[in-house]
Structure 1
Amino acid sequence: MGFGDDHESMQNSRSKPNLSKFRYNSPLVQVILIGLVCFCCPGMFNALSGMGGGGQVDHTAANNANTALYTTFAVFGILGGGIYNVLGPRLTLLAGCSTYVLYAGSFINYNHHQSQTFVIVAGALLGVGAGLLWAGQGAIMTSYPTSGRKGTYISIFWSIFNMGGVIGGLIPFVLNYDRSAAASVNDGTYIGFMCFMAVGALLSLAILPPSRVIRDDGTACTHIKYSNVSTELVEILKLFLNWKMLLIVPAAWGSNFFYTYQFNNVNGELFNLRTRGLNNVFYWGAQMLGSVGIGYLMDFSFQSRRKRGFLGIVIVGLLGTAIWGGGLANQLRYSRDHVPEKLDFKDSGSAYAGPFLLYFSYGLLDAMFQSMVYWVIGGLADDSETLSRYSGFYKGVQSAGAAVAWQIDVHSVSYLHQLIINWALTTVSYPILLLLVMLAVKDDDGSPEHAYEGYERYRDADPFQQ
């Protein structure tokens, strides 16, 4: 062995420090923490929305609130990455989580006064908070893991987060079990959601800034402690001319567009109240299965990261085509003018099975689609600053699409046309994502020198310091 080989061997051994995965400042622990925060806040929000109309018989208030929500979300989703880089995770996430509690509380007021104003204002404020929360979440989930484990960490986050939807689905199911003919959920259901959301806001204080997080291979997530407002404004404006972000737009626009149709016009229209809660337990449970499956596929199927990306997109595309095809067959059985009798999980027998399986499959596809897109975004860069902006841009465009979708339902567009729009939006995104992976995702995972530099910073740092 020559001197060069010996030096390289020593350098490689130094670049792989034995760091515990369960350190407080490890990516795994931090991703679990952000998963728990999202379990309590957007997880519970998803369960609330999944009942259709926010648990109300009249969907108008919830639809208008969601339009306000996703309009402000579109703006603050894009700005959220910059705000996260300036304020750091704790202040950003705490501010974001607090708005979820207010939104759930607004429906208690609506139960008693039937006034949309408070619900719509709370929805608009939640859009601001959600923009902050999801930009921070996206930065943590995509930048903290090493490049070869991003799919795994995305699936870990998605499983914990969607457990919130599972538990959240049990809340209305249990509290309204004896109200099979009830139209709107009771106050206790909303109070249960508020309690979980308040816990999530407190948990956000446990998230460390990226400058204090060291990956398992010793690399640091960032070398920049804080950014500044002028830098972030310039970088955010550049996103609109960034060809990588422009190729993300179709997938981002379509990735939340289908929620309105699935929640209001499938779960909300076909099933009674207690069954909608039970369906949501399985819808979000399916998301856990979907995220684990696609995460494993996109981390371990091939050595080449680019090939893993190609395979994941093709698998999701084929599955999506099959599921939306099943949705079309189901949709042809009813319309706005011809709504069938509400199905009940106990009383409807075999008639319940088909629509339930379809709704379950929608949850499976949602997790696989969004995990796939996050994996692609994570492959475009490795540093927290860049990925916080990319994730914010993705959530901003996603929310603009969702705002349009809620208004489409308010204006009584036919269910069949809504399904066709959703199917088309997701289908168009697959070849564009394949092009993005081909042009922008690299197989090179980084250098040992950078890893050892990160390890030295870890060794000398106080991991609990903000």
Structure 2
Amino acid sequence: MAQTLEKHHVVWYRSTLFAALLVAMTAFCEPGIFSALNGMGAGGGASPDITNAANAIVFGVLAVASLFTSGVVNRITPKWGLVIGTLDYTPYAAGLYCNDRFGTNWLLLFGSVILGLAAAFLWVSSGAILLGYSEESRKGRAMAFKFGLQSLAGSIGGIISLALNIKKAWRGSISTPTYVVLMVIMSVGWLFALALPTARQIQRVDGRPVHLVKQATFFKEFRVLKSIFTRPAILALIPFWIYGQWNLSYQWQFNFAYFTVRARALNSTLFYLVGLVSALVLGQLLDHTRWSRPARAKIGFLVLVVLVGTGWILGQAVQVHYSNTKPTLDWSSDGYGLGAFLFTLWGFCDPMVSVFNYWLCGCLSNDLNETTMITALINSISCLGSTFAFVVSAVHVDYNWACGINLLLFGISLPGVAWVVFTQIMETTQSTFAKGAGLAVHESENVAPSASANEEKGSRFIVKEIPQ
């Protein structure tokens, strides 16, 4: 039975929803524009080979770096982790431009490494903030803001590309001004991260403070990470995390392989525009107080099973047809509607998978530091899946097989998600998720003093032993 909590007055610019909006704006400027570029197929360029290799590097670096940045973010605070994460997306976009126009590869490959490192900070920090700052009743909307605005960026990128390439009724690369406009948007994301309230400044409607806990040593941060990773609920969700970003490579390849430049831009616009709608709708549903939290988890799960399953079954049928006919479709072509509908359906489903995934993990803990670690695991494992997916594209695996892998991975992930949804989601999370974190340092003026003999008080920190 859920607790009834007294509502407290909250200053709007210290609220969790305002913090979520600022995080969402960083998602708009950085991963959103990254998605806009790639959503137009091959990073907007004429050849997908180098782009697939570059994206494999991005997600490979992100997969490894996420595990290490989780401890760093806990020590420098999620706000400053987010600031770092917004600073280095533009070299990747510049590398795409130079490769497309001049055939140079080094800047794109270098930019991919830099982006992978920056993205690790951005994704770990943003996930920690959205799940660790937010009240239980607002976690769905917080994640919806992020993935909704990320999709909005993709749609705006598609609109810009459509306006600048509307006469290109052939396959090929996008115009130079498209790259310039998108790089300008990427370069301003740090302003929103800088405006983010700190954990100490956040005001929740339930009156509970946000505690930022630093482990006594960096090594003990990894003990917490290991503790969380070995929990049954986390292990059960690993296949779902792998699926969550595996699909990107194939979907972007699909758009590049079968459509003209302007049709790709239109497809990309529709793909991300419907994603904005689906993210906001699912986020609202997951926070709806009419149903209990376990009921909302079950409803969200069933919605995903139906929509995502339909998308990949239809996708497999369409891919077999396209493999036989090998079309190059413009919006004026016969048969364009089927491919555009399929691509748009994928765009509708993908943000719902992300919102549900993070919301489900947010049901497992309300602790800021633990959500940092959970987010790091999600990012690391999801990006590992993306890395292999882009390798699959880079070695030119047949599109029929590439599509079938997505359908297979989604099917394999369902039993684990079902077990978590039907057995592990409670009405409220009463305590922290991980046990045995060891010696921790609480950076909060709101931590209640303890009578323990092991507690040492300072002007800013309280050090206390967490029960083993």
* TM-score using structure 2 length: 0.87
Give the stretch that moved more between structures: 388-397 or 307-316.
307-316
Partner of 1:18: 9
Distance 1:185 1:83 in 2: 38
- Once residues 399 and 130 of structure 1 are traced to their aligned partners in structure 2, the CA distance between those partners, rounded to angstroms, is 11
Larger deviation, residues 401-410 vs 426-435: 426-435
In structure 1, what is the Cα distance between the partners aligned to 2:429 and 2:234? 22
Letter in 1 for 2:377: F
2:405 aligned residue (397, 409, 421): 421
Structure 1: distance between partners of 2:91 and 2:255: 25
Check whether the contact 2:8–2:204 (CA below 8 A) recurs between aligned residues.
no
Counterparts in 2 of 1:420 and 1:301: CA distance versus 1, 3 Å: farther
Deviations 1:103-127 (A, max 9, x none): 1111222133312222112112211
Q: Which runs of 4+ in 1 moved over 4 A?
A: 225-228
Once the two structures are superposed, the pairs formed by residues 275-314 of structure 1 within 5 Å of their partners are 275-300=263-288, 303-314=291-302
Post-superposition CA distance 1:370-405 (Å, at most 9, x none): 111111110000011100110111011000000000
> Would you say the 8 A contact 1:110–1:116 is kept in 2?
yes
SS in 2 for 1:224: strand
Q: Judge conservation of contact 2:140–2:286 (CA < 8 Å) in 1.
A: yes
Q: Distance in 2 between matches of 1:227 and 1:185?
A: 51
| Aligned equivalent of 1:46, options 30, 35, 56 | 35
Q: Secondary structure at the match of 2:322?
A: coil
Mapping 1:58-77, distance limit 5 Å: 58-77=47-66
Residue 372 of structure 1 corresponds to 356
The within-5 A match list for 1:255-270 is 255-264=244-253, 266-270=254-258
Contact 1:88 1:226 (8 Å CA) reproduced: no
Unpaired runs of at least 5, structure 2: 432-444, 448-468
Per the TM alignment, residue 297 of structure 1 is displaced from its structure 2 partner at its CA by 2.5
Query: How has the CA–CA distance of structure 1 residues 223 and 184 changed in structure 2, closer, same or farther, with 3 Å as cutoff?
Result: closer
Structure-2 residue corresponding to 1:183: 172
Once structures 1 and 2 are overlaid, which stretch shifts more, 222-231 or 108-117?
222-231
Cα distance change of structure 1 residues 108 and 358 upon mapping to structure 2, 3 Å threshold: same
Quick check: 237-246 or 368-377, which moved more? Answer: 237-246
| 1:138-181 CA distance string (max 9 Å, x none) | 11122222112221222222222211111111122112222323
Which residue of structure 1 aligns with residue 329 of structure 2? 343
d(CA) in 2 for partners of 1:139, 1:169 = 29
Q: Is the 8 A contact 2:124 2:372 kept in 1?
A: yes
Superposed displacement of residue 182, structure 1: 5.5
1:9-408 → structure 2 map (5 Å cutoff): 15-20=6-11, 22=12, 24-181=13-170, 183-224=172-213, 228-264=217-253, 266-300=254-288, 303-335=291-323, 339-340=326-327, 342-345=328-331, 347-348=332-333, 350-408=334-392
Structure-1 separation of matches of 2:345 and 2:367: 34
Question: Quick check: 396-405 or 307-316, which moved more?
Answer: 307-316
Q: Contact (CA 8 Å) 2:71, 2:222: kept in 1 or not?
A: yes
2: CA distance, partners of 1:60 / 1:279: 21
Give the partner amino acid of 1:360: T
Distance 2:170 2:16 in 1: 47
* Counterpart Cα distance in 2 of 1:398 and 1:223: 26
Higher RCO (CA < 8 A, seq sep 6+): 1
User: Quick check: 1:432 aligned with 2:416?
Assistant: yes
Pairing 1:449-464 to 2, within 5 Å after superposition: none
Flag the 1:445–1:407 CA change in 2: closer, same or farther, 3 A.
closer
1:344 match: secondary structure: coil
Unpaired runs of 5+ residues, structure 1, are: 1-10, 448-455, 459-466
CA deviations 1:204-227 (Å, max 9, x no partner) are: 111222232121111122253787
1:437 and 1:241 map into 2 onto residues whose CA distance is 18
Deviations 1:398-424 (A, max 9, x none): 000000000101111111111111011
Name the SS for the 2:414 alignment partner: helix
User: Does the aligned pair in 2 maintain the 1:172–1:189 contact within 8 Å?
Assistant: yes
Distance 1:180 1:392 in 2: 42
Question: Which structure has greater helix proportion?
Answer: 1
- In structure 2, the partner of 1:461 is none
SS state at 1:255 partner: helix
CA distance in 2, matches of 1:166, 1:174: 12
Q: How many Å separate the matches in 2 of 1:116 and 1:227?
A: 43
Aligned residue pairs: how many? 433
- State the shift of 1:438 in Å: 3.5
- Partner Cα distance (2:216, 2:71) in 1: 8
Q: How far apart, in 1, do the equivalents of 2:4 and 2:163 lie? A: 56
Tell me, in whole angstroms, the C-alpha distance in 2 between the residues paired with 1:49 and 1:436. Answer: 33
With structure 1 as the length reference, what TM-score do the two structures score?
A: 0.88
